[in-house]
Structure 1
Amino acid sequence: MASTKQLFFANLAQTTDFPLALEMEKAEGCTIWDVNGKPYIDLISGISVSNIGHRHPDVVDAIIKQVNKHMHLLVYGEFIQSPQAELAHALTEALGYDLDNVFLVNSGSEAIEGAMKLAKRFTGKRKLVAFNKAYHGSTQGALSIIGDEEFRRGYRPLLPGIVHLEFNDVNEFDHIDSNTAAVIVETVQGEAGYIPPHPGYLAALREKCDEVGALLIFDEIQAGFGRTGSLFAFQRENVRPDIVTLAKGMGGGMPIGAFVSRKEIMDALKENPILGHITTFGGHPVSSAAALASLKVIRDGELWKNALEGEKRFRKLLVHDLIREVRGMGYMLAIQLDTFERVQKVIEYCLEKGVITDWFLFNETALRIAPPLTLSNEEIDRSCKIILEGIEKTRN
C-alpha cells in the first residue's frame, strides 16, 4: 500500500516543484508535531490563520456542539441559522464604523471577489485602483488586482480597468478619479514583506475617495483579528472604510471569509438582478461557530496586546549584522536579509531545529514572522536563538 507521502506527490496537485513536504501528525497551541514526533514552533500560523493557536479548546468545543446540531442545510442566505446570525452581529460590533452588514463566504479570495462586485454594482463604475506588490488572492478577479505582473502574465486576459499605484505614495492619487468604483488596499501589505502604511496614508486615501465618489475597500484578510496590535489594523489609524474583507485568522483554523459593508451598500446585491452574489457553502455553520468562538477568545483576552509585547521582544532579540531591518507591525514582522539564497538556508536550518518560518511571494529576501497571538516568551526566545544561529551559519 502506498504511503501518505507517496499519495501526496502522486495524487495531490502541487503548487511548486519543491513543497516543504513535512508529514504532520498533530498540532496544539503554537506547536506542530510530525509523524516522527518531532515538535516545531509555528512562527507563521499557517500563514496568519491560527491567530489563537492550533486547536484552541473553545473552538474545538464550538465545532463539536455545532456538528451535533447540524452542518450544511441550504445555500447561504435562505435559512435563519444561529451560528451565521450571531457571528455577523459579533463582527459588526467588533468592526464598528457603521459596518453593519456581513456577507459570509469561504475564503479571502471570495471575499475580495464579492467586494469588487459590490463596489461596481453600487457605484455603477468599472475602474478599480489597487497597489503594486499587493496580494488579494488567486481567483481571476483577485488576480487582476494583485500587484505583480509575473503572477498575472500567464493568465491574461484578466479584468480590464485596473490601475496599480505605488503603496504609500500620495503623489499618485491623481489616478483615483471620478471613474473609479473603488480603491482596494491592504491595511498592511502582506506578501510585499509586511509593509505598514505611513502615518496618515490611509486617511489621505479616505479623503481622496470621498472627493471623487469612490468606495474605499480595506483588505484585512492577513492583518485582521489582532495580528497587528489592534483588533483590526485600520482601527489603529481611525479611518472608516466602506467595505472590509476578512478571512484567514477569522475562523480559528476553519475555512471562512466575509466582506462587510453598510446595509445601504450591501443591498445593491439584492436586485437588478436578484441573487447578485450567491454561494453554496459560504458561512458554513460549523465554520461560523468556530469563527464566533475564536473572535470571543481574542476579544475577551485582548490578545492583540500579546502581539504588541511580542513584537518588542522579537525586535530586541533579532539583532545581527546580516539583518538589514526588522519591519512590520505587531505579529506581522519581516526579517529583511540580502538574498533569497540566504533566506532559503535560514528556513532550512530553522526547520532542522524545529522552527517553522517562511518567505514572501513578492519579497523573497525576507523571513516571515507571524506566529499565533498566544506565543510564549520562552517560544520567542528559542525561536530567535535558532533564527540567529541560522543566519550566522550562512556566512560559511
Structure 2
Amino acid sequence: MMKTLGSPLAKLVRGEGARVQDDEGTWYLDFLAGIAVNSLGHAHPVFVDAVTRQASRLAHVSNYFATDPALALADRLARISGAGEAGRVWFGNSGAEANEAAFKLARLNNSGGARTRVLALVDAFHGRTMGSLALTGKPAMRDAFEPLPGGVTHIPSTIEALEAELDESVAALILEPIKGEAGVLELPEGYLRAARDLTRRHGALLIVDEVQTGAGRTGEWFAFQHAGIVPDAITVAKGMGGGIPIGGLVTFGHASDLYSRGQHGSTYGGNPLSTAVADAVLAEIERAGLVENAARRGAELRERVLGLGSPLVAGMRGRGLLAGVALTEPVASELSAAAMQAGLIVNAANDSTIRLAPPLIIGDAELDEFTDRFGRALDAVAATR
C-alpha cells in the first residue's frame, strides 16, 4: 500500500449492525461508521439486497445512457433537499469529486467576467484532489501541493469576516455547516442565515458541503435545514451510499442552469449499481425514521458522555449523530487507542477532540455498550495523568 496513511488500527474482516470483527476474532462497537459512511451499519439486509439485485441486473453503462436507479435517486435527492422540480443533480464517486463539481459551478457564476473569487472557511475540509484541496482551509494539508488552483480566499468563520469579504467579485461561498475534520466545530449562531442573505445580496452562490453532515446524520436530512435556509447548491456523498462509493452535486433554482453539455462528467458517476444502492439506503433511512433517530440518539449520546463525569471531558459539540467530545487535555490519540482496547472504535479528529459518528441505526443496547466502553477508556487514560 502507498505510504499515504498511518499504520492500520486493525484488520477487519466482517461487520454486522453497529459492530465489526477483526482477523483475530475480536468484535468492536463501531462508533465511526467508516467516517460517517455506513448509515445503516454493516451488512444491513436492505443494503445487501440492493447490491445483489442491481449487480445481477446492470452495474455500469457509462453516462451516455439513462437508467432507472439514477433517475430515481435524483428525484429523491431533489425532494428531500427541497430543491424540487427546479433542482438538478450530478453524480460522481466521492465527496472530493462532488466538491470539484461545486468549484466548477462557482466558476460558471461569472457571466460578466468580474466574479473571480471563491470564499471558503479557515479549517474547513473539502477533499484531497487539487481543486477540493484549494478550497480546504488547512495549510498542513495544502503546503506540499502548492501551487494550487487560485482565486480562493480563506476567511475566519465569523459573520464579520463574511461581511468584510463578500462583494461583487465573489462567485461563491462554500462552507461546511459543521467542520467535521476540524473537531466537529459548528458555525456561529445565525451564520448560515447571514451567509444566505449576504450571498443573495451580492449575487454569489451559497454552496453547502453536506458530504459528512448529510443523509440524516445531524437530525435533519441535511444540516442546512436546521437554519431554515435554501442554498444554491449542496454536495453529498458518504452516508448517502451507506458503504458504496458515490457523491453528488444538487443545485437549486437558477444555479441549475449554469452547467451546460460537456462541461463536466464522470465515467463511473451515476452508474446503476451505486445509484440503486444509494436510493435504497435513503429509502430505508426514511422508512425506518432514522433521521428522527439521529436527533434523539444524538441527544442521548451527549447526556451519556457528560454523565460519565470524567475530568477529561470539557463538553460536547455537533448535532445529531455527528458529535465531538471536547477534551480538557490533548490526549485524543491516547483515548482513541484506549477505546480500541475496550472494544470501541472512535476517532481522534485532532489532539483534543474525539469524533463520534455511529450508524444511524443505534438504539439503547448500543448506547449502553458505548457508555460502558468509553467510560472505561476515559478512566484508563485519566489514571495515567
Indicate which of 33, 39, 48 corresponds to 1:51. Answer: 39
Q: Give the aligned partner of residue 25 of structure 2.
A: 37
Q: Give the aligned partner of residue 70 of structure 1.
A: 58
Instruction: Give me the whole-angstrom Cα distance separating, in 2, the residues matched to 1:94 and 1:47.
Output: 22
Amino acid at match of 1:198: P
Counterparts of 1:1-396 in structure 2, within 5 Å, are 12-20=1-9, 22-74=10-62, 76=63, 78-98=64-84, 100-124=87-111, 125-262=115-252, 264-270=254-260, 274-318=261-305, 319-340=309-330, 342-360=331-349, 363-394=350-381, 395-396=383-384
Structure 1 window deviating more from structure 2 (119-128 vs 318-327): it is 119-128
Residue by residue over 1:111-162, the C-alpha shift from the partner in whole angstroms, topping out at 9 and shown as x without a partner, is: 0000110121133432100001100000001101111111111100011111
Instruction: Give me the whole-angstrom Cα distance separating, in 2, the residues matched to 1:209 and 1:277.
Output: 24
Unaligned regions of 5+ residues in structure 1, if any?
A: 1-11
TM-superposed CA distance for 1:350, in Å, is 1.1
TM-superposed CA distance for 1:217, in Å, is 0.1
Checking the alignment, whether the CA contact within 8 Å between 1:345 and 1:390 is kept in structure 2 is no
Residue by residue over 1:211-243, the C-alpha shift from the partner in whole angstroms, topping out at 9 and shown as x without a partner, is: 111000000000001110111111111111001
Instruction: Give me the whole-angstrom Cα distance separating, in 2, the residues matched to 1:317 and 1:175.
Output: 41
Label 1:205 to 1:46 Cα distance change in 2 as closer, same or farther (>3 A): same
- What is the SS of the residue equivalent to 2:270? coil
Label 1:263 to 1:324 Cα distance change in 2 as closer, same or farther (>3 A): closer
Unaligned regions of 5+ residues in structure 2, if any?
A: none
TM-superposed CA distance for 1:299, in Å, is 1.1
Instruction: Give me the whole-angstrom Cα distance separating, in 2, the residues matched to 1:160 and 1:79.
Output: 35
Checking the alignment, whether the CA contact within 8 Å between 1:170 and 1:204 is kept in structure 2 is no
TM-superposed CA distance for 1:63, in Å, is 1.3
Label 1:276 to 1:19 Cα distance change in 2 as closer, same or farther (>3 A): same
Amino acid at match of 1:294: V
The count of aligned residue pairs is: 376
- What is the SS of the residue equivalent to 1:312? helix
Identity %: 34
Q: Structure 2 length normalisation: TM-score?
A: 0.94
TM-superposed CA distance for 1:264, in Å, is 4.3
Residue by residue over 1:150-203, the C-alpha shift from the partner in whole angstroms, topping out at 9 and shown as x without a partner, is: 111110001111111112443442111111110001111111111222332101
Checking the alignment, whether the CA contact within 8 Å between 2:118 and 2:153 is kept in structure 1 is yes
TM-superposed CA distance for 1:23, in Å, is 1.1
TM-superposed CA distance for 1:54, in Å, is 1.4
Amino acid at match of 1:333: A
TM-superposed CA distance for 1:376, in Å, is 2.1
Structure 1 window deviating more from structure 2 (38-47 vs 186-195): it is 186-195
Structure 1 window deviating more from structure 2 (158-167 vs 206-215): it is 158-167
Instruction: Give me the whole-angstrom Cα distance separating, in 1, the residues matched to 2:52 and 2:303.
Output: 41
Instruction: Give me the whole-angstrom Cα distance separating, in 2, the residues matched to 1:129 and 1:215.
Output: 10
Label 1:106 to 1:175 Cα distance change in 2 as closer, same or farther (>3 A): same
Amino acid at match of 2:124: A
Checking the alignment, whether the CA contact within 8 Å between 2:30 and 2:358 is kept in structure 1 is yes
Q: Structure 1 length normalisation: TM-score?
A: 0.91
Instruction: Give me the whole-angstrom Cα distance separating, in 1, the residues matched to 2:223 and 2:29.
Output: 25
TM-superposed CA distance for 1:382, in Å, is 1.7
Checking the alignment, whether the CA contact within 8 Å between 1:187 and 1:218 is kept in structure 2 is yes
Instruction: Give me the whole-angstrom Cα distance separating, in 2, the residues matched to 1:262 and 1:231.
Output: 16
Instruction: Kindly report the root-mean-square deviation, in angstroms, between the aligned alpha carbons of the 2 structures.
Output: 1.5
Residue by residue over 1:10-65, the C-alpha shift from the partner in whole angstroms, topping out at 9 and shown as x without a partner, is: xx113234332x11111121011112221111101100001121122112111111
TM-superposed CA distance for 1:312, in Å, is 2.2
Instruction: Give me the whole-angstrom Cα distance separating, in 2, the residues matched to 1:316 and 1:215.
Output: 38
- What is the SS of the residue equivalent to 2:186? coil
- What is the SS of the residue equivalent to 2:185? coil
TM-superposed CA distance for 1:291, in Å, is 0.2
Checking the alignment, whether the CA contact within 8 Å between 1:188 and 1:195 is kept in structure 2 is yes
Instruction: Give me the whole-angstrom Cα distance separating, in 2, the residues matched to 1:378 and 1:226.
Output: 21
TM-superposed CA distance for 1:263, in Å, is 6.5
Checking the alignment, whether the CA contact within 8 Å between 2:83 and 2:251 is kept in structure 1 is no
